Chains A and B, each alone.
Chain A
Amino acid sequence: MAKKLLEIKNLTQYFGSSKEPVKAVDGISFDIYEGETLGLVGESGCGKSTTGRSIIRLYDITDGQIIFNGKDVHSSKSANEMKQFNRQMQMIFQDPYASLNPRMKAGEIISEGFDIHGLYKNKKERREKVESLLEAVGLNREHANRYAHEFSGGQRQRIGIARALSLNPSFIIADEPISALDVSIQAQVVNLLKQLQKEFNLTYLFIAHDLSMVKYISDRIAVMYRGKIVEIGLADDIYHSPVHPYTKSLLSAIPLPDPLSESKRTRISYVHEDLDESASFYEVADKHFVYGTAASVKKWQNA
């Protein structure tokens, strides 16, 4: 079994007043293993981005623990340790237009982090690193001197990926990195992420609402609903033997590029049942966990 790179324990992130908080993330626990891709799916507003942003410490979490490489991320005090975490964990965002400053050159965007972390101080070293990053993401060295606004959507996402890779991270959170791109460009970016994962031994948390791409890129998938993870397991198991009724409903709604099967599609609608205090995770198969009460999980398994 691979080593646990991240352990998320009871992660809780509330927003707004303490009287009536928005429970964006409501006590979730899961692990991410070194070298794997964990897909995180669920409808908009269920808490996927908040989960990613809490892990990377864009928020002070309401409760819980995030343990990275054996160390608690949120309790670390020393500036040096914080810098280390910052280097190790990077994020790629959905909108390649909004996430890059259009007035900066691609080379500047990619090397922005170098100064903060005191890396590649020598000019030549710096240029070489930028060029090798551009090439790693399928752009070429001449692109370093072009402004962000001169690139297409797919190319901008490549710059975003190069920026995320610039500090040699081990863990990358990709928050809907392909949702804004055309199908054929999506495939290019997904292929690139896969190749880079192999090359640099990266671990991914891949957030998406497009379930077919998630299935393709992920080793395991976590399904989130209203701030909670309701099911987690190997990608194949989630797709072929879902247990939680929300997962079943979600899967039944994905249209496939197959007209004959589409003509027979029957959508399963999901009706949420509130669970009592005893709800927790039940292992229904190897590495496959479902959130519910003992009785409800049994019922769902037999459904």
Chain B
Amino acid sequence: MSEPILQVKDLRINFKTFAGVVQAVRGVNFELNAGETLAIVGESGSGKSVTSNALMKLIPEPPGIYESGEIIFNGRDLIPLSDKEMSKVRGNDISMIFQDPMTSLNPTMRVGRQITEVILKHKNISKSDAKKRAIKLLDQVGIPMPEKRYKQFPHEFSGGMRQRVVIAIALAAEPKLLIADEPTTALDVTIQAQILELMKEIQKTSNTSIIFITHDLGVVANVAHRVAVMYAGQIVEYGTVNEIFYNPKHPYTWGLLGSMPDIDSNSDELLRTIPGSPPDLTNPPKGDAFAARNEFALAIDYEKEPPMFQVSETHFAKTWLLHPDAPKIPIPEAVAKRIEGYLGKENVLNGEKTIRN
């Protein structure tokens, strides 16, 4: 396995507000290899955007505080870097795509120029070569008639087309790491599918690493190699995409998987839900932050925060249920049945079992 291009160690981000200190990210650890996609999933408010903004050092200070941790990118910790040093990393080595394309576009500048500016900033080439490259990028992200589109303004593009322009800009610098924060959440499924295909294709040809933030588990299954499930500012389960979907260990992951309807599920049954809502991060609960919503909570969950238990070489989950002395709680039937269904289909197709755990 290659060296990780990114290692995040014990990242903690707080915000000082009138109501108190919001502990938005509470000790996050993960790694990313070259050419790999990590998906971060979780409910809103779980700290996905704060984590990814922190990687770009985009947390406003104040009210934000980098409380602790390291963000080691290509062997160098980004946390102590000055704004000036960081601006060289941004858009050069690391690019970001946000949910709303207009946050990244200048409405008064033709899109062509917005792309060539990035190219010229990062590459020592002539203006006419930059233009050629920009048109090629527009073409690559699936924008028809790129020569004509090159001269247009953002308002002349539809939402899906604008997001492609943003992707073209993000790619213009040939970043090693692309961070995409809910890039397709506002788009139609057909356009979403095109953009996901595009990102995967680019990853293949340029070996780009991608951090993909979403709350849509279907999208995760489509793009991710590895998955981090976030809850209340922490990663509560971490593993390969197959481990998370076919052998989930954390009750929160069970809850997320169970609350999605299955195309083949019986509509007479109610969906499984996760009761209640996430805790207030100005005053995170003692013990396991998920305990109050966890139907399988143990007494210890209200007392002591669980460590990350290791399930396999690549799979970890932060739940006391994995402690050797914990009662054996089977995965909820509805979730188990669905997984069996997915794997069963696979067996029928392949005539053999592909995944076992």
Tell whether A187 pairs with B222 under 8 Å between CB atoms, given A260-B354, A261-B345.
no
Q: Chain A 236-280 against B: per-residue CB contact (8 Å), 1 yes, 0 no?
A: 000100000000011011111111111001010110000000000
Q: Chain A 56-89 against B: per-residue CB contact (8 Å), 1 yes, 0 no?
A: 0000000000000000000000000000000000
A191 to B261, CA, bound (A): 11
Give the residue of B188, B222, B242, B261 whose beta carbon is less than 8 angstroms from that of A255: B222
Q: Is A152 an interface residue (CB 8 A)?
A: yes
Give the residue of B44, B190, B277, B342 whose beta carbon is less than 8 angstroms from that of A258: B342
Q: Is B1 an interface residue (CB 8 A)?
A: no
Closest A residue to B190 by beta carbon equals A253
B218 near A255: Cβ-Cβ < 8 Å = yes
B263 near A239: Cβ-Cβ < 8 Å = yes
Count residues of B near A (Cβ-Cβ below 8 Å). 48
Closest B residue to A239 by beta carbon equals B263
Q: Chain B 150-184 against A: per-residue CB contact (8 Å), 1 yes, 0 no?
A: 00000000010000000000000000000000000
| Number of A-B residue pairs having CB atoms within 8 Å of each other in the complex | 119
Which residues of A have CB within 8 Å of B111? Answer: none
Q: Which of B126-134, B265-273, B296-304 contacts A (4 or more CB under 8 A)?
A: B265-273
A216 near B267: Cβ-Cβ < 8 Å = yes
A190 near B271: Cβ-Cβ < 8 Å = yes
Give the residue of A195, A239, A252, A259 whose beta carbon is less than 8 angstroms from that of B242: A259
Give the residue of A188, A215, A249 whose beta carbon is less than 8 angstroms from that of B261: A215
Among A182, A183, A191, A209, chain B packs the most CB atoms within 10 A around the CB of A183
Within 8 A of B (CB), among A172-189: 182-188
B273 near A187: Cβ-Cβ < 8 Å = yes
Give the residue of B44, B190, B194, B355 whose beta carbon is less than 8 angstroms from that of A43: B190
A154 to B278, CA, bound (A): 12
Which residues of B have CB within 8 Å of A186? Answer: 259
Closest B residue to A254 by beta carbon equals B189
A186 to B258, CA, bound (A): 12
Q: A185-B277, A215-B263 are in contact. List 8 more A-B contacts (CB 8 A).
A: A43-B188, A44-B188, A183-B43, A184-B256, A191-B270, A258-B221, A259-B222, A260-B355
